[in-house]
Structure 1
Amino acid sequence: MFFMKYVFGFLVCTCLIFISTYPSNVQAQQKYTIYLDADFSGATASSLSIQQGINTALAEVDHQLQGIKFDVATKDHRANSLRSKRNLEAFLADERALVVFSGLHSPPLLANKDFINENKILLLDPWAAAGPITRSSSTENWIFRLSIDDSNAGSFISQKALEQGFSKPYLLLEDTGWGRSNKKTMTQALKDAAIKPVGLSWFNWGAGKNHAKVLLRDIKASGADVIFFVGNSAEGATFTQAMVELPQDIRLPIRSHWGITGGDFTEKVSATQREKVDLQFIQTNFSFLNDDLSMFAQRVLALAIESNNDIKNKRDINAQTGFIHAYDLTRIMIAAIKQVKLTGNKNKDSQLIHQALESLEQPVQGLLKNYQRPFTPYSKDNPNAHEALTIADYSMGKFNKSNEVVLLK
C-alpha cells in the first residue's frame, strides 16, 4: 500500500510539474506579436485605420501562420521620438514581438532610424513619407515602406500644380525632417521646370491661428499664386481656418501633402468652410469610394466590416490611406512568412522574413495593385529597394461635402 501511495504521489507531482511548464512553453511557441508604434493621441484616425488594415489582412489567414497565432499590440508614441524609442526598446525586450508597423509621423522614424537598423528591428512603414526613412547609411536596412515616398511626392505635387496653370508657388512647411525633405524635392522639381519658389516659410507644431494669418498675408503679398503645404492635420486645420477668415481676395489655393488627412481635419474645418478654399492633397490611387470596385476590393471591404467592430460600411474607414497601405503591406508580410519556415526564434525568424521580403517569389494581390517583387536587396546604388510604390501609384484628392476623401481623375 505504501509503495502504491508513493508511486501515485510521484505520478501526481510529475503531472503537476508537466502541466505547469508545458502549456506555457507551447503557448509561447505559438504566438507572435506585431507592434503598431503610432500616434493614437494626435493622429488617431490614421493610427486606427492602420490597425484595421493589419487586422483585416490577418483575418484572411485566421490570424495564424504555420500554427503560430499573430496578434497586434498598439503602442502610442504621441508623436514623440523619445517615446517611440522606448516602444522600440520594449519590442526588443519582448521575445514574442516579431514585427513593428509605424504610423503617420516621419520624425520618430528619422530620429530612430539608426537604432532600428543597428538592432535589426523588422519595421514596416504604411504611411510616414520622409525620403531618408528607407535609405540606410550602412549595409543594414530593416525598414520597408509601402506608402508615398517624399523623394517623389514633391515632384508629383509640383507637377500637378504646374499642370493646373500655377507658376508662382510658395512653400509653407513644418520645421521637421519631413518638412525639410519636402523642401529639397519640391525645390528640385520646380528647378527642373525652370521655376523658382516665390518664398519659403517654416512653422512649428502647435502653430496658432493669429500667426497663421500673418504668414498667409505675407505669402499673398509675395505675389504667390499657390501654396505648397507640408504639415499634419492640426496645423493644416489652423492654416485653412485662418485662410477662410481672410478676405476672399487674399485667399490662395493650397496644394498639400497628405498629413492633413490623418487626424480630425474635417471635424475642425467644416464642409461649408472648405468650399471657400481651393484645397487638394496628394494620395495613392485607390479608394473604397470608387464606383467601380473590383471583386477583390469588395471581398476585402466585406471582411473589414466582419473583422472590425467599428466598421459598418466603407464610409466608416477614416483615413483610408492607412487602411489600404497597411492591408497591402500585411499581405506582403504574410507572403514572405509563407515563403520561409518559422523557427519560433524571434531573431532567426525576423532575419528569414527580411530575406524573403527582398526576394518574394510569387506576386501579391493588393488593393493598390498587384505587387511583383515589391522589394529587392538594398544598397546605396539601389536606393529605392525598400519602396513598394512609385510615382505612378500617386494621385491628387480632396474632401467632399460628406468629409470623405475622393480621388481626382
Structure 2
Amino acid sequence: MQSVTRRTVLAASMAAFALSAAPHAFAAEPIKIGLVTALSGQSALAGEALTRGMTIAIEEINAKGGLLGGRKLELVRRDDEGNPAKGVTAARELIYKEKVAVLFGGLDTPVSVAIVQMTNQEKVPFMGPWAAGTPITKNGAKVNYAFRVSAVDEIVDKAMLSYSQKTFKAAKPGLILVNNAWGESNEQGIVAALAAKGMKPAGIEKFEANDVDVVPQLTRLKAAGADTLFMVGNVGPSAQVVKSLDRMGWKVPVVSHWGPAGGRFTELAGPNAKNVHFVQTYSFFGKQSPVGDKVVKALKAKYPDIKDVDDITPAVGVANAYDGMQLVAQAIAKAGSTNGDAVREGFYKIDRYEGLIKTYVKPFSPQEHDALGENDYVWAYFNNDYILPVGMASR
C-alpha cells in the first residue's frame, strides 16, 4: 500500500511539474528585431525617435497576435555612438548573440554602409529608417539584403536644387559638406543634379565632423560668388556652419539635407538656426490620415513627455521607423519564416500597405530597395525647438 502511495504521489508531482512547465516549454520564441543607432551624444534624440516609432509598430503588431502563428516581436537595441567600428561590433552582437531576424540601421551613413557589408555577407535583412547615403541600398552586392524607408541622397540632391531654385532663385550654389561617406555621396548627387541642368557649383568645401570653425571654407565659397549654400552634415557640424556664417555676417540662404533635424540643433546653432531649410519625409503637423491619428494617440499613451505633436521630434525618425517596422512585419509574414533569404524575398511580395507616410504599393523589387521617392519629401525649418513645414505659421 505504501509503494502505491509513493507511486501515486510521484506521478501526481510529475504531472503538476509538466503542467507548470508547459507554458514555458511550448511558448513561441519571440522574433527579435535589432536596432543599431546613436543612443547617446548629440544625435541621441533621433535614436530615441527611431526607438519610439519601432516600439509603437511592434506593440500594434503584437496586440494583433504577433507573427508566424503567435510569435511576438521583441526590440533589442545597441548604441553605435555614431562610430562605424562600434556599429559593426554592435551589429555582430545582435546577429550572433541575440539572433535577430532583421537589423535596423541608424543615423549615420558611414555606420550603415559598414553594417550593410556584414549583413549582406551574413544574409540578414537590413532596414534603414534614417541614413540616406545612396550606397546603403545601391551597394553592388549580387544578392542585396539592404532595404530602406528613408530619404535617399541622389533623390534629395535633386530636390535640394529644385527647391533652392524655386524658393531662392539659386543660380550659383556652393557646397559645404561633411568629409565622410555621406558627404561624398551627396557631392556626387548634387554635382550630377547641377550638370543635368547645365550648371556647376560655385565651389565645393569640406569640413570635419568635429570642426568648430568653418569660416575659411565659407569665405572661399563667398569669394566664388555662391548665392546659396547646400549643406550636408549632422547636428553638431551643421550648427558650426551656422555659427561660422554668423561670425562672418554672411546672410546667405542655406538649403540642407536633414542632418540638422537629428538632435539639439537650435541649442547648438543659435538664433539663426531658423534660417536653415531642410528636407523631411513626414510632419505630424496639420491634418493627419487615420494612420497618423492612430500613431499620435499611441505615442501620447505610451510616452508621458508627448503632450502634443510638438513633442514628436524628430518626426522623420518616428515615421520612417514605424513604416519600416510594419513593412518588415509584412515581409516576415509573406516569408512564413525568419529565414534571412526568405524574408528578403518577402519584401518583394508586399502588395499594398496603408502606412503613415503614404500608401505603399509594391514598394520593393529586386531592382528597387528604397520605398520612398522624390514625391514623398516635405521641406521644413525650426521654429524654436519645433520642426514645422515651410509656410506653416509659428506656433
Q: Same fold (TM over 0.5)?
A: yes
Distance of aligned partners of 1:242 and 1:135 in 2 relative to their CA distance in 1, 3 Å threshold? same
Give SS of 1:339's match. Answer: helix
State the shift of 1:160 in Å: 1.6
Cross-structure match for 1:104 = 107
The aligned counterpart of 1:405 is 388
8 A Cα contact 1:336 1:357, kept in partner = yes
Q: Go from structure 1 to structure 2 and tell me whether the alpha carbon gap of 1:331 and 1:407 turns closer, same or farther (over 3 Å shift).
A: farther
SS in structure 2 of the partner of residue 201 of structure 1: strand
1:116 aligned to 2:113? no
Tell me whether 1:232 sits opposite 2:215 in the alignment: no
| Residue identity opposite 1:392 in structure 2 | N
List aligned pairs for 1:146-295, cutoff 5 A.
146-163=149-166, 164-208=168-212, 211-247=213-249, 250-270=250-270, 272-274=271-273, 278-284=275-281, 286-290=282-286, 292-295=287-290
Retained in 1: the 8 A contact 2:32–2:76?
Answer: yes
Give the share of equivalent positions with the same residue, in percent: 27
Flag the 1:21–1:354 CA change in 2: closer, same or farther, 3 A: farther
Please tell me whether residue 30 in structure 1 is matched to residue 29 in structure 2: yes
- C-alpha displacement of 1:401: 3.6
SS at match of 1:97: coil
How far, CA to CA, are the matches of 2:132 and 2:306 in structure 1? 26
TM-score calculated relative to the size of structure 1: 0.88
- Partner of 1:60, secondary structure, is helix
Q: Secondary structure at the match of 2:104?
A: strand
Residue segments in structure 2 that go unaligned for 5+ positions in a row: none
Alpha-carbon deviation of 1:50? 0.9
- 1:86-117 deviations in Å (ceiling 9; x for gaps): 12211222355222111111101212322110
- Mean Cα deviation higher: 367-376 or 309-318: 309-318
Q: Does 1:353 align with 2:343?
A: yes
Measured in 2, the distance between the counterparts of 1:35 and 1:309 equals: 25
TM-superposed deviation, 1:20: 8.6
Match of 1:336 in 2: 331
Deviations 1:352-394 (A, max 9, x none): 3222111113x101122110010112xxxx3xx1110111212
Q: Which position in structure 1 is the counterpart of 2:11? A: 11
Separation in 2 of the partners of 1:111 and 1:237? 26
- Structure 1 residue corresponding to 2:311, chosen from 308, 316, 328: 316
CA positional deviation for 1:293: 2.1
Match status 1:386 vs 2:376: no
Q: 1:301 to 1:360 in 2, by over 3 A?
A: same
Q: State how many pairs are aligned.
A: 387
Displacement of 1:157: 0.6
2-side partners of 1:256 and 1:56: how far apart?
29
Q: 1:113 to 1:136 in 2, by over 3 A?
A: same
Q: Counterpart in 2 of 1:364? A: 353
Aligned equivalents of 1:186 and 1:356: distance in 2?
A: 34
Structure 2: which amino acid aligns with 1:357?
F
Q: How much does 1:294 deviate?
A: 2.7
Alpha-carbon contact 1:173-1:203 (below 8 Å) kept: yes
Root mean square deviation of aligned Cα: 2.2
User: Matched residues in 2 for 1:300 and 1:6: separation?
Assistant: 59
3-state SS in 2 of match to 1:128: coil
Contact 2:146 2:369 in 1 (8 A): yes
Q: Name the CA distance, whole Å, in 1 between partners of 2:199 and 2:112.
A: 32
Once the two structures are TM-superposed, the CA of residue 23 in structure 1 deviates from its matched residue by 4.8
Structure 1 residues 270-326: Cα deviation after superposition (integer angstroms, max 9, x where no partner): 4x3335xx3211122x31112x22333222211221233442321111110111111
Residue 15 of structure 1 deviates from its aligned partner by: 5.2
Return the offset for 1:58.
2.0
**TM-score calculated relative to the size of structure 2:** 0.91
Q: 1:9 to 1:82 in 2, by over 3 A?
A: farther
8 Å contact from structure 2 (residues 110, 181) kept in 1: yes
- Distance apart, 1:403 and its partner CA: 2.9
After superposition, give the CA deviation of every residue in 1:109-164 in whole Å (9 maximum; x if it has no partner).
Answer: 21232211010111111111000111232322111101111121111111221233
Q: Which residue of 2 aligns with 1:301?
A: 296
Question: Per the alignment, in what secondary structure is the counterpart of residue 194 of structure 1?
Answer: coil
| Cα distance between partner residues in 1 of 2:96 and 2:385 | 44
Worse-superposed segment, 70-79 or 218-227: 218-227
**Worse-superposed segment, 9-18 or 194-203:** 9-18
Q: Deviations over 1:237-290 (max 9, x none)?
A: 11112212322xx332211110111011022234x3335xx3211122x31112
Contact 1:395 1:408 in 2 (8 A): no
Deviates more, 1:117-126 or 1:88-97: 88-97
Check conservation: 2:171, 2:227, Cα contact below 8 A: yes
Distance 1:351 1:166, change over 3 A: same
